[in-house]
């Protein structure tokens, strides 16, 4: 492969790739993101390749292995082009029918289409599915159309055009001004204006300068950084190259979780390809700009997502990460004491389109202070789980009900948690809140990295607060006393409350400790860790009171406060619970409603899971 | 061992990467291996232990042949993953973090596997199994035991 030495050569190469593509016939895209792979996408690909090889079709058909399409709930997903026909939950045995009916017969296989739960009717194309219809997939949209292993695929959809534009037509200052005009803000949590951060780093004195892509997606419940890096790694590399050109960095790092092996693999392959094509390295596209990127694996520590901790983790030899007071900020003194720009994967992934289409175009999307689109991981008790990319300003209700399809099993919405362990839980009265950095902060939560976890009336909010706090206590690096000890003490109170030994005065002490932690912690982990406790106290105080005053868990979650019983009316005496009770607490003769011995019952939930007749009652 | 260290020759940021590779090769970090790394990189052993104990990815005890990870990320938690962890713990007769006496299985709780739409999720030897009920998780374990006996 000859390296590409100028923007003109890049365009010529692109045209060559596109022309070759037009000769291809149909394409079958199989989502092989982490979600669909777990649902068996690998065997669908194998079946498809085998079937296509056996029955040589007149029109050539390409199998395209793609990254995450976002609609993980319905995986494995298969999209047939042309036609944009979406097939859901595809099994290997469905492959012959898809090939024979759709590719040869030009008709759809109705039974594999997505069924709109509202109308009950099948939806033939991907674009018409309500989950996708409400979205604006500016960043994620390419994922379904390219094979992340192939740089040619990325070029075919316009890849690296923005980098060529920046290098040949714009000065670094113009690149920064364009990002400033776009209103883009950090998508990793802080929401700091990206253009301003770049400008600060460009102006900082000290050489060399470094760029770090933060892909240490530690928020439990978030997987959009993973999906971008797995599904479209060149997009992130292109964004990084533009950022490096703007600030004047020659060396970049991608700090990625070791728990994401596929992201590590795809990013590594993309780096090799970009080097081979001359899109990384010396004098990129014939310009005077030289830049390369190294991949660094994290060790599975949430605190490493924090900028100063991440820097010390890359520096490596000091062992543990070490959050430190600011200023100085990393843009002045970062990696090895040099000016360092750290941006999240999603922020960098937005850079190519802003550079290509202009900051004035991007700033038209969104609200007054929050511009562009945001990718959320919509999970928990919602029908359509997956990754959704929506314009800022859309309401929580629109995301949860119109895109997410509402709450499954006819249950009631109780809360939505945004912003990960440092975020907050918002109640039904906040459903019409627009997604906007300031609005979420006012309500007590944060935008964070885009986690959105929906909870229904079987989720206990005290337990959720305990869960989040146990996570942050566990992940605290222990440097700041108030984060380390304050968090533990708050945990102790929450454990007492969920065990039915709570006292009313604990609620006040929780608030005091929270205030102390917020004031006395060096990094965002400690400062934001009390958020889930504070928001649940603010919006769900009734549940705390039920645990303390009535020794009752209204959601039926806290084991010390609940009992299981059998509804004799609903029970059909099928005996499944008897056979599967691990402690023998459920017993009785054949064909009779069994008895449940409270002494032996450990409230493990096995019977509740198994019973087909809703005859297990939790109180 | 030598190969792993040589792969990162001259890279001062490679300590964590070396520990990852060693952990994968030995299924834990033996003290002898850390001593060699300490010697070769001229890094005090205490630094290595500081990293090895801080980061979740590293094991200081030998792991079993098969690693079961139960995801306790938020999305999995609200869908009842803790009950699945308890059920597997009961079935295996070990607590999370422990290895069965026959050295076959290690049970681990992990904070998030990043496949949140499929919760509750269990990963056995890096293969994800999603949308599990307690019963399915138990059957999965039994099937795995039979398959590898």
- Tell me: the pLDDT tens digits for A277-311? 999 999 999 999 999 999 998 877 777 777 888 88
What is the value of ipTM here, to two decimals? 0.86
pLDDT category at A1 given cuts 50, 70, 90 is low
Nearest to B17 among A259, A297, A420 (CB): A297
Predicted TM-score (pTM) above 0.80: yes
pLDDT at B17: 85
Q: What is the largest CA-CA distance in chain B?
A: 51
pLDDT at A50: 92
Question: Which stretch of A316-325, A351-360, B46-55 has the lowest confidence by average pLDDT?
Answer: A316-325
> How far separated are the first and last CA of chain B, in Å rounded?
30
- The CATH class of the A373-456 domain is alpha beta
C-beta atoms of A380 and B19 within 8 A: no
pLDDT category at A437 given cuts 50, 70, 90 is very high
pLDDT at A493: 97
Segment A240-249 mean pLDDT = 98
pLDDT at A317: 55
Nearest to B129 among A38, A218, A451 (CB): A38
Distance of alpha carbon A197 from alpha carbon B22, whole angstroms: 38
- What fold is seen in the domain A461-549? de novo design (two linked rop proteins) (1.20.1440)
pLDDT category at A362 given cuts 50, 70, 90 is very high
Contact A499, A560 (CB under 8 A): yes
- A281 secondary structure, DSSP code: B
Residue A415 above 90 pLDDT? yes
Residue A517 above 60 pLDDT? yes
pLDDT category at A238 given cuts 50, 70, 90 is very high
pLDDT at A110: 94
Nearest to A299 among B47, B55, B77 (CB): B55
A386 to chain B, closest Cα gap in Å: 5
C-beta atoms of A609 and B133 within 8 A: yes
C-beta atoms of B116 and A260 within 8 A: no
Interface A-B, measured as beta-carbon pairs within 8 A, has a size of: 168
Please name the helix (run of DSSP H) or strand (run of DSSP E) that holds residue A65, with its range, or none. Answer: strand A62-66
- A2 secondary structure, DSSP code: P
Please name the helix (run of DSSP H) or strand (run of DSSP E) that holds residue B129, with its range, or none. Answer: strand B127-129
Look at the block and give the residue holding tokens 């990319």.
Answer: A389
Nearest CA in chain B to A555: B78
Of A68, A63, A12, which is closest to residue A38 (Cα–Cα)?
A: A68
Residue A271 above 90 pLDDT? yes
Q: Sheet holding A340-344: strands in order across?
A: A292-297, A249-256, A209-215, A340-344
Nearest to A604 among B87, B119, B121 (CB): B87
* Residue ranges of A 235-274 with Cβ closer than 8 A to chain B: 257-261
Q: Which residues on B lie below 8 Å from A217 (Cβ)?
A: 114
| DSSP string of A335-351, one letter each residue | GGGS-EEEEEHHHHHHH
Segment A406-412 mean pLDDT = 91
Residue spans per domain, chain B:
2-54, 66-147
Q: Which residues on A lie below 8 Å from B86 (Cβ)?
A: 604
Distance of alpha carbon A500 from alpha carbon B39, whole angstroms: 53
Supply the mean pLDDT for chain A: 92
pLDDT category at A321 given cuts 50, 70, 90 is low
By CB atoms closer than 10 A (0-12, 13-18, 19+), residue A319 is buried
What does the radius of gyration of chain B's CA atoms come to, in whole angstroms? 17
A302 touching B (Cβ < 8 Å): yes
Question: Which stretch of A333-342, A466-475, B50-59 has the lowest confidence by average pLDDT?
Answer: B50-59
Residue A94 above 80 pLDDT? yes
pLDDT category at B12 given cuts 50, 70, 90 is low
pLDDT at A62: 86
Q: What CATH number labels A21-129? A: 3.40.30.10
Q: Which two tokens stand for residue A143?
A: 């994922």
Question: Which stretch of A323-327, A409-413, A483-487 has the lowest confidence by average pLDDT?
Answer: A323-327
Give the C-alpha distances (Å, rounded to integers) separating B130 from A31, A78, A579, B116. 16, 19, 24, 9
Pairing state of beta strands A451-456 and A424-427? unpaired
Q: Which two tokens stand for residue A287?
A: 């310009």
H-assigned helices in A232-292: 233-247, 261-276
CATH for A563-618 (3.20.20.190, 3.30.70.20, 3.40.50.620, 3.40.50.300): 3.30.70.20
> How far separated are the first and last CA of chain A, in Å rounded?
68
C-beta atoms of B134 and A35 within 8 A: no
C-beta atoms of B16 and A464 within 8 A: no
Three-class SS of residue A96? helix
Contact B73, A565 (CB under 8 A): no
Q: What CATH number labels B66-147? A: 3.40.30.10
Segment A176-185 mean pLDDT = 97
Nearest CA in chain A to B8: A296
Give the C-alpha distances (Å, rounded to integers) separating A590 from A34, A449, B103. 45, 53, 40
Three-class SS of residue A466? helix
Distance of alpha carbon A514 from alpha carbon A531, whole angstroms: 8
pLDDT category at B53 given cuts 50, 70, 90 is confident
By CB atoms closer than 10 A (0-12, 13-18, 19+), residue B10 is exposed
Q: Which of B17, B77, B117 to mutate to test the interface with A (most CBs of A within 10 A)?
A: B117
Residue B149 above 70 pLDDT? no
Domains A373-456 and A461-549 share a fold: no
| DSSP string of A141-188, one letter each residue | GGGGGS-TT-HHHHHHTTTTHHHHHHHHH--HHHHHHHHHHHT-B-SS
Segment B31-60 mean pLDDT = 88
Residue spans per domain, chain A:
21-129, 159-362, 373-456, 461-549, 563-618
C-beta atoms of A580 and B135 within 8 A: yes
Contact A346, A225 (CB under 8 A): yes
pLDDT at B146: 84
Q: How large is the angle between the packed helices B45-54 and B15-26, nearest 10 degrees?
A: 70
Residue-wise over A492-527: b if at least 16 C-beta within 10 A, else e? ebbeebbebebeeebbeebbebbebbbeebbbbbbb
pLDDT at A119: 83
Give the C-alpha distances (Å, rounded to integers) separating A100 from A97, A450, B142. 5, 41, 38
A425 touching B (Cβ < 8 Å): no
Nearest to B74 among A220, A318, A477 (CB): A220
Q: What CATH number labels A159-362? A: 3.40.50.11540
| DSSP string of A356-407, one letter each residue | HH-HHHHTTSB-SSSBSEEEEEEEES-SS-EEEEEETT-BHHIIIIIIS---
Contact A199, A341 (CB under 8 A): no
Please name the helix (run of DSSP H) or strand (run of DSSP E) that holds residue A48, with its range, or none. Answer: helix A41-54
pLDDT category at A320 given cuts 50, 70, 90 is low
C-beta atoms of A298 and B75 within 8 A: no
Residue A430 above 60 pLDDT? yes
């Amino acid at each position: 492969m000859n390296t590409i030495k100028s923007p003109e050569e890049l365009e010529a190469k692109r045209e060559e790739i596109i022309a070759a593509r037009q000769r291809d016939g149909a394409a079958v895209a199989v989502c092989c993101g982490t979600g669909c792979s777990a649902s068996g996408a690998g065997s669908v690909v194998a079946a498809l390749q085998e079937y296509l090889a056996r029955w040589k079709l007149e029109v050539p058909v390409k199998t395209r292995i793609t990254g995450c399409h976002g609609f993980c709930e319905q995986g494995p997903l298969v999209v047939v082009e042309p036609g944009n026909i979406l097939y859901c939950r595809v099994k290997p045995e469905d492959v012959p029918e898809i090939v024979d009916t759709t590719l040869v017969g030009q008709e759809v296989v109705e039974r594999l289409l997505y069924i709109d739960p509202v109308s009950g009717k099948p939806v033939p194309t991907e674009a018409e599915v309500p989950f996708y219809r409400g979205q604006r997939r500016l960043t994620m949209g390419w994922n379904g159309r390219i094979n992340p292993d192939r740089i040619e695929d990325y070029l075919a959809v316009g890849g690296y055009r923005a980098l060529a534009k920046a290098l040949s037509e714009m000065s670094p200052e113009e690149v920064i001004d364009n990002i400033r005009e776009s209103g883009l803000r950090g998508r990793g949590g802080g929401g700091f204006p990206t253009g301003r951060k770049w400008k600060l780093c460009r102006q900082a004195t000290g050489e060399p300068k470094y760029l770090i892509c933060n892909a240490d997606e530690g928020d439990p419940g978030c997987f959009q950084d993973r999906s971008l890096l797995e599904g479209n790694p060149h997009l992130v590399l292109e964004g990084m190259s533009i950022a490096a050109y703007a600030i004047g960095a020659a060396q970049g790092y991608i700090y990625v979780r070791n728990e994401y092996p596929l992201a590590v693999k795809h990013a590594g392959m993309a780096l090799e390809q970009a080097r081979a094509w001359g899109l990384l390295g010396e004098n990129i596209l014939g310009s005077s700009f030289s830049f390369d990127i190294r991949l660094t694996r994290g060790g599975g520590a949430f605190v490493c997502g924090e900028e100063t901790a991440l820097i010390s983790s890359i520096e490596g030899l000091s062992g543990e990460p070490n959050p430190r007071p600011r200023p100085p900020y990393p843009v002045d003194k970062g990696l090895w004491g040099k000016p360092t720009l750290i941006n999240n994967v999603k922020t960098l992934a937005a850079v190519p389109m802003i550079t290509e289409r202009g900051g004035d175009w991007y700033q038209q999307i969104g609200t007054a202070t929050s511009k562009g689109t945001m990718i959320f991981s919509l999970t928990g008790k919602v029908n359509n789980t997956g990754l959704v990319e929506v314009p800022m300003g859309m309401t929580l209700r629109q995301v949860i009900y119109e895109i997410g399809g509402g709450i499954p099993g006819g249950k009631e919405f109780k809360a939505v948690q945004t912003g990960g362990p440092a975020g907050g839980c918002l109640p039904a009265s906040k459903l019409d809140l627009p997604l906007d950095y300031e609005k979420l902060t006012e309500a007590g939560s944060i935008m964070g990295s885009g986690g959105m976890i929906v909870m229904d009336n079987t989720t206990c909010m005290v337990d959720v607060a305990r869960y989040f706090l146990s996570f942050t206590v566990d992940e605290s690096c222990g440097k700041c006393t108030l984060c380390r000890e304050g968090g533990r003490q708050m945990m102790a109170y929450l454990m007492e409350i969920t065990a039915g030994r709570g006292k009313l005065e604990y609620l006040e002490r929780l608030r005091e400790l929270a205030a102390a932690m917020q004031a006395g912690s060096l990094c965002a982990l400690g400062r934001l860790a009390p958020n889930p406790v504070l928001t649940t106290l603010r919006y769900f105080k009734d549940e705390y009171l039920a645990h303390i005053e009535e020794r009752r868990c209204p959601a039926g979650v806290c084991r010390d406060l609940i009992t299981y019983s059998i509804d004799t009316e609903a029970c059909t005496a099928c005996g499944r619970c008897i056979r599967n009770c691990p402690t023998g607490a459920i017993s009785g003769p054949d064909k009779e409603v069994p008895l449940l011995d409270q002494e032996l019952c450990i409230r493990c939930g096995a019977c509740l899971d198994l019973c087909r007749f809703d005859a297990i009652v939790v109180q | 061992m030598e190969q792993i260290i040589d792969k990162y020759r001259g890279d001062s940021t490679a300590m964590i990467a070396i520990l990852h590779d060693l952990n994968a090769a030995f299924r834990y970090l033996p003290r002898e291996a850390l001593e060699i790394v300490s010697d070769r990189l001229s890094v005090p052993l205490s630094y290595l232990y500081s990293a090895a104990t801080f980061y979740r990815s590293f094991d200081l005890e030998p792991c079993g042949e098969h690693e079961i990870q139960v995801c306790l990320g938020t999305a999995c938690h609200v869908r009842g993953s803790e009950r699945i962890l308890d059920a597997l713990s009961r079935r295996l007769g070990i607590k999370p973090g422990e290895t069965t006496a026959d050295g076959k299985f290690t049970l681990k709780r992990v904070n998030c596997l990043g496949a949140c739409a499929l919760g509750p999720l269990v990963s056995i030897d890096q293969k994800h199994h999603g949308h599990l009920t307690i019963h399915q998780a138990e059957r999965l374990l039994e099937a795995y035991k039979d398959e590898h006996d």
